Amino acid sequence: MSLYPRLDDLLELRHQAHTLGLPSHHLVSSTFAGLYASVFRGAGVNFEEVRQYREGDDIRYMDWKVTARTNEPHLKVFREERERSVVLCVDRGPHMGFGTRGTFKSVQAARAAALIGWAASRLNDRVGGMVFGDVEAGLQHFRPARGRRALWRLLRTLTEPAAAGDAPSDYLGGALRRATRGLPTGSLVFVIADLNREAIDLERVLGTLVQRNAVALIPVDDPADWEIPAMGVTTFTGTDGQLIEIDTDDPQARLIYRETWEERRKMLQAMAYRLNIILLPVRTDQEIHLTLIHDLEHRARSRAV
């Protein structure tokens, strides 16, 4: 099980309907791009004009100020952008080199970035990104651009070994603060990261980001994040460098471990709800494209209700 994906595998994910007859790990079809479009294309819109209300118009877009001033119902009209910037913020911290089943978090994160990037490119969106968490390379920025060059460079970076060492505790916040600067209004930002850890001021940073952009969080999870394997008395290294000895066979300790993860995930879900952020978790032990298709289908159905 390789710690990093092969570039050929990530490039393979660009194939569309003609690969539907191949084995499941090649199955990245127009279905995914279509679901991506149905869920996210409406996120990039420009205000165009105010006009009088017509029967059948969506009252959610009523311009109440103009309606009050003219005493006649008026509606705001928006025009969908023909292209939009899609920014893939991908975690490369040391903790991404973890995986107990299926693959490593670093590989699954790269696959998620590739899938979304190819779908966006297929819709003629400008695709770019940020790779963060590598203690040696630091924050690597790929300016959104039309075509496939920026996406190809980002994916190639995700296949290269990251430097060993402890990343700064606030590198996620730092990457997102960088993302708030210089992005065109209406950009779609995907944050693909290990979100099972304490993140300093994450809600504040995301709150600033969503004021002008649409944001989707993609937590990369491994089953061991919530279900510690039974290994007897085991020594772990804490985030502060201290050694911690835990009896992993203790049922009470295992229960506390799971409850801690569940509480952390509930807090993440609550934050996403408050900020109107899309949450699309993926797991190391599941096929990435099937997981994203299922989540996007669920999201599309929710919007249709």
Alpha carbon separation from 174 to 51, 65, 128, 202, 250 (Å, rounded): 42, 39, 17, 10, 38
Quote the mean pLDDT of the chain.
Answer: 83
pLDDT classification of 43: cutoffs 50, 70, 90: low
**pLDDT at position 2, please?**
75
Alpha carbon separation from 122 to 21, 24, 41, 53 (Å, rounded): 20, 21, 12, 35
**Is residue 59 predicted with pLDDT exceeding 90?**
no
Q: For 210-234, how does the pLDDT look when each residue is reduced to its tens digit (9 = 90+)?
A: 988 899 999 999 999 999 888 888 8
Confirm if 244 and 235 have CB atoms less than 8 A apart. Answer: yes
Q: For 67-120, how does the pLDDT look when each residue is reduced to its tens digit (9 = 90+)?
A: 999 999 998 876 655 668 899 999 998 889 889 889 999 999 999 999 999 988
**Is residue 155 predicted with pLDDT exceeding 80?**
yes
Residues sharing a CB contact under 8 Å with residue 185, sequence separation 6 or more, in sequence order: 212, 213
Q: Which of 206, 1, 261 is closest to 89 using CA atoms? A: 206
Q: Which of 218, 86, 90 is closest to 154 using CA atoms? A: 90
Cα distance between residue 29 and residue 26, in whole Å: 9
Structural domains of the chain in order of their starting residue, each with its CATH number: 7-40+83-304 (3.40.50.410), 45-80 (no CATH)
Kindly report the pTM of this predicted structure: 0.81
Q: Which of 87, 186, 73 is closest to 128 using CA atoms? A: 87
